[in-house]
């Protein structure tokens, strides 16, 4: 666990991002820090990468901590919630103001070749994980907090090889609407952010590193290029701002206009 000694206003919003050590999660952390948030990020194995993100947040004058968490292990969530409560207490805080369910892995396989083990691993990370982690953290979410569930453009359009992954994201989009309805009495807003093709290391970095794939995806995107992690970081920050408070239960796609 890495803690910053940077001083910061106790009134700053505190946001938790799962899978915040790299890619979209890291970009979201930096974008939110620029918006004045203090950050808790989680990582599964990449402690050094998480430390680097913490350092970036610190350099922007915000507080930050990196905590280990495997979102596929729902049985660990009560202990994680207790650790998070202690972390917040160390900052003189008692609640989170934002939760971004971002952690994820990819499986590329045709529908015919997807195994039960592949499917179960995706359920654990992309559907069961966000469902029960959010549930476990409800006592730590402030009234009026924001929850942002990360989906994918693949829940709207189809690309061969992602049937199981996209099915999980379709499930998280339905879950978002139910959470928005059931948590509204506490003023908690819940939305889905669905990125399109992004040039990161996700899925082996194919979008970033395969020139032919990159050109194809750019050709079917209205804005003429694939996305960058900062595009999604900015979109997440926008949805968590006070001015977006009348938006809940919605799916917002940040894809540059893929397959319009």
pLDDT in tens, 35-48: 999 999 999 999 99
User: In terms of Cα–Cα distance, which of 209, 222, 248, 201 is closest to 106?
Assistant: 201
Cβ atoms of residues 151 and 175 within 8 Å: no
The band of 203, judged by pLDDT with boundaries at 50, 70 and 90, is low
The band of 207, judged by pLDDT with boundaries at 50, 70 and 90, is confident
Model confidence at 61: pLDDT above 80: yes
User: With pLDDT > 90 as the criterion, what percentage of the chain qualifies?
Assistant: 86
Mind giving me the DSSP string for 89-111? HHTT---EEEEEE-------B-G
**pLDDT (average), residues 205-234:** 89
* Cα–Cα distance measured from residue 23 to residue 16, given in angstroms and rounded to the nearest whole number: 16
The pLDDT score that the predictor gives to residue 200 is 80
Query: For 241, left (φ over 0), alpha (ψ -120 to 50), or beta?
Result: beta
The tokens of 203 are what? 């899925």
List the Cα angle 134/127/140 in 5-degree steps: 5
The band of 227, judged by pLDDT with boundaries at 50, 70 and 90, is very high
The pLDDT score that the predictor gives to residue 107 is 87
Domain assignments of the chain as residue spans, ordered by start = 2-254
Q: Is 108 a catalytic residue?
A: no
Cβ atoms of residues 155 and 169 within 8 Å: yes
3-state helix, strand, coil in the chain (%, to 5): 50, 20, 30
The pLDDT score that the predictor gives to residue 1 is 46
Residue found under tokens 């050094």: 48
Looking at every residue in the chain, the average pLDDT score rounds to 93
User: In terms of Cα–Cα distance, which of 68, 58, 129, 60 is closest to 100?
Assistant: 129
Instruction: Report helix angle 129-137 to 163-182, nearest 10.
Output: 20
Per DSSP, 44 falls in state: S
Residue found under tokens 């979201």: 28
**pTM across the whole model:** 0.94
Q: Which of 9-13, 81-85, 217-221, 244-248 has the lowest mean pLDDT?
A: 9-13
**2-254 is a CATH 3.40.50.720 domain:** yes
* Cα–Cα distance measured from residue 55 to residue 107, given in angstroms and rounded to the nearest whole number: 31
Cβ atoms of residues 192 and 173 within 8 Å: yes
Q: How far is CA 72 from CA 108, 172, 191, in A?
A: 18, 15, 22
Cβ neighbours around 127 below 10 Å, total: 18
The pLDDT score that the predictor gives to residue 18 is 98
pLDDT per residue over 155-184, tens digit each?
Answer: 999 988 999 999 999 999 999 999 999 999
The pLDDT score that the predictor gives to residue 212 is 82
Q: Which of 91-105, 145-159, 194-208 has the lowest mean pLDDT?
A: 194-208
The pLDDT score that the predictor gives to residue 160 is 87
Number of residues that make up the chain: 260
Model confidence at 5: pLDDT above 60: no
Model confidence at 9: pLDDT above 80: no
The band of 67, judged by pLDDT with boundaries at 50, 70 and 90, is very high
The band of 10, judged by pLDDT with boundaries at 50, 70 and 90, is low
Choosing from 43, 108, 162, 165, the catalytic residue is: 165
């Amino acid at each position: 666990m890495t803690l910053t000694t940077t001083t910061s206003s106790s009134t700053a919003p505190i946001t938790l991002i799962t899978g915040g050590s790299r890619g979209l999660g890291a970009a979201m952390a930096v974008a939110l820090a620029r918006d004045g948030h203090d950050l808790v990020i989680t990582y599964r194995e990449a402690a050094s990468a998480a430390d680097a993100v913490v350092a970036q947040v610190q350099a922007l004058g915000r507080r930050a901590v990196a905590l280990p968490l495997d979102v596929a292990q729902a049985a660990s969530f009560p202990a994680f919630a207790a650790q998070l409560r202690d972390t917040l207490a160390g900052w003189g805080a008692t609640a989170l103001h934002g939760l971004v369910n971002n952690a994820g892995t990819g499986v590329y396989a045709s529908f015919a070749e997807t195994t039960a083990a592949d499917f179960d691993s995706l359920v654990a990370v992309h559907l069961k994980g966000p469902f029960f982690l959010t549930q476990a953290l409800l006592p730590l979410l402030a009234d009026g907090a924001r929850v942002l569930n990360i989906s994918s453009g693949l829940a709207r359009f189809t690309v061969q090889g992602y049937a199981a992954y996209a099915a999980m994201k379709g499930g998280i989009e339905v879950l978002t609407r139910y959470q928005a309805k059931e948590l509204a009495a506490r003023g908690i807003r819940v939305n889905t952010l669905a990125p399109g093709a992004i040039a990161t290391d996700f899925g082996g970095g194919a979008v970033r590193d395969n020139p032919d794939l990159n050109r194809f995806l750019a050709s079917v995107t209205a804005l003429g290029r694939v996305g960058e992690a900062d595009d999604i970081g900015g979109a997440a920050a926008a949805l968590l701002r006070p001015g977006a408070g009348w938006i809940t239960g919605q799916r917002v796609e940040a894809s540059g206009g893929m397959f319009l």
